[in-house]
Amino acid sequence: MPKKPKTESFEDALNRLESISERLESGQMPLEEAIEQYEEGVKAYRHCSSLLKKIERKIEVLTKNADGNLEAQTAPDLDETT
């Protein structure tokens, strides 16, 4: 059975996005390289956005248990399958 590739963490993707942004803002690269970096930045942004949406949904799933205390319940669509 093939091993599932490890997903980049939010922090790593955000650091990558910040680094790309700094390089693009410097204006010190050829146009083709800038376009490649921009594409990588879009991928990193989408990954961060996706992870944040998953976390928001997890937070929204908080409910009270029988004792009246809040507890997290994982919704089926929030599993790490993407």
Q: Is pLDDT above 80 for 5?
A: no
Which residue carries 């010190």 as its tokens? Answer: 28
36 in any annotated domain:
yes
Does 4 fall in a domain?
A: no
Find the CATH number of the domain harbouring 24: 1.10.287
Number of domains forming the structure of the chain: 1
- Does residue 2 register a pLDDT over 70? no
Rounded to an integer, the average pLDDT of 42-48 is 96
Residues of the chain by 3-state class (helix, strand, coil), percent to 5? 60, 5, 35
Give the model confidence (pLDDT) of 49-80 as tens digits.
Answer: 999 998 887 777 776 666 777 776 666 655 55
As given in the structure block, the two tokens for residue 76 are 């089926």
- Can you point out the beta strands (E) in the chain? 63-64, 70-71
